[in-house]
Structure formats: structure tokens, C-alpha cells
Amino acid sequence: MKHDISLEWDSDPRADLRAATEVYAAVGLPAPTASADAATPADPGHRIGTVRARRDGRLLGWVSLYGNGEAGVTAQGERADRLARRLVHGSYGANPGVTTEERAAFVSMYRRAAERARAGGASMLHWSGTDTGPEGDAARALGARATGEIARIWTVDPRGWWAPGGLPAIRVRTLSPPLVGLIGEGAELTVDVADDLAYLNAGEAITAPGVAPDILGALVAALVDLLRRERPDVRELAVFEFDGDTEGAVRLALPLAGLRIAHRVVDFELPLT
């Protein structure tokens, strides 16, 4: 598979924007107006260049390098199909799965990115991603080390879910259409539903200041029950929960509602010397 994948290195600072523009065009949208429309890390520094991966001319994804080419350089990858999903559905949503083709492409792109960073004088390459995703594949293939866990993706299949015992009684009401979610007990939860997948970003879709974990757990359980009853086609609810969320309450609440960690978002670093 990997021998069918071609790589392109582009040192133009707008290379990632051009890659994103291809995805926008593929889903019938006008070109993004700034590189902020494409994925970039926080405080990225100077954009060094971008590696794109294609197969038979089709864009699979890209990895951009940021920094000053000195001690450390940061890499940020994007899957073309994943970006297209966000553009169509309004969020990245639950992970629909990574293809073998995408995994091979990301290993090759991160390897090329490391070579470029090393040639530019960098001593360390940093990136982040899920341990089970293509970024994790690249880390294992290149011998990178994990330096910390920054977020988790919790999942549950509402179709086979039963409410855990011991949760407190709560009073909630559903949100008005087209929103899908619940409000009550001083909190509001909103979920994105696309086809058979539901997704909730805890930092954006859970508003629960000061709500205790057991109450929040009961609210999440009520949300799973809502999906089970009213959205029977949904086969997975995924919740993105990260360090610094609602006072840590979300992390404590999710297992109380019967969710389990499926993916961990990790910082990786690869020594280049």
C-alpha cells in the first residue's frame, strides 16, 4: 500500500491552506480565506513547510511543520476525509475509523517531516494525536516517545447500554429542535449527530459550572438514554474530554454514566540528533 502513496514537500507558508482548499472544493465549498481555516497548533511559530500525501492524485492528508528550525519543531497533521466530515457536518464528530491507506500515509508523512526538520537543524520534533490513530502509528514506527496525555475520547454504544445503578435522580428537559441534548440541574449538554455517530466535545458542548460529578454523570446517562430512545440508529456516542475541562468533573462523571476510554490523546516527541 505505502508504495502507491506519493509525497510532496512544499516550503510555501501557504501550502497547508492550498491543501485545505482542495478539501473545501471536494465538498462544494468556496476556498478558505486564511490559514486559520486549516488546522494549526497553538502558538505555531514560523511555518516551515508542508508534506502532502496522495494516492492516484487523491489527497489523503498533510503534515505541516512549525517553528524556527532550531531546538524544537512542531508537526500538525490533518486527514483530508476528516476535514471534509467537519465541513459537511459542522464538527469532526466521532471518529469513523482510519483506513489502512491513511495510516500508511501518515507514517510516511511524519517520517518525511522528521527528515526535513533534521535537515533544518532541529533537535526535536513534537506532535500530538490519539494513541490508536495515525499519529500514534507514526510515533511507534519512528521511535517517538510519549511525553504526556492531554485528552481522552470516551465512547459508548447506546443500543446495548443500560443505566448504571447508584446515580442520583435528576430533572431535565430536552433542548428544542434542531438541537439534540438536555438541560437541567444547572447544566446543559448538546450533542452532534451525523448518521449513526454522535459526538460531544466537553469543552464546547457541556456547560456545567459547579455541578457535582455524580449529577453530571446522571445527566450524561440521561443523554445516552435519549439517544437510545429517539435516535436508535446511533451506534456510538463519543465524548472528547481534555485536561482543564469543567474542573475535572467531566472526567469523573463519564465512567459513572457507563462510558469507557477508547482513545487517548498524547503528546509525542522524536529526538532528531
CATH architecture of 2-143: 3-Layer(aba) Sandwich (3.40)
Return d(Cα 48, Cα 12) in angstroms, integer. Answer: 8
pLDDT band at 46 (very low <50, low <70, confident <90, very high): confident
Helix boundaries (H) for the chain: 15-26, 80-89, 100-119, 134-142, 202-205, 213-230, 249-256
| 243: CB partners within 8 A, 6+ apart | 149, 150, 151
pLDDT digits (tens, 9 = 90+) for 48-105: 999 999 999 999 999 999 997 567 899 999 999 989 988 887 666 555 568 899 999 9
For residue 43, give the DSSP letter: S
Q: Is the pTM of this model over 0.75?
A: yes
Helical packing angle, 134-142 and 100-119, nearest 10°: 50
* pLDDT for residue 35: 52
**Which of 97 and 7 is assigned the larger pLDDT?**
7
Return d(Cα 133, Cα 154) in angstroms, integer. Answer: 15
Q: How far is CA 183 from CA 220, 222, 251, 253, 258, in A?
A: 11, 10, 19, 16, 20
Domain boundaries, the chain: 2-143, 154-263
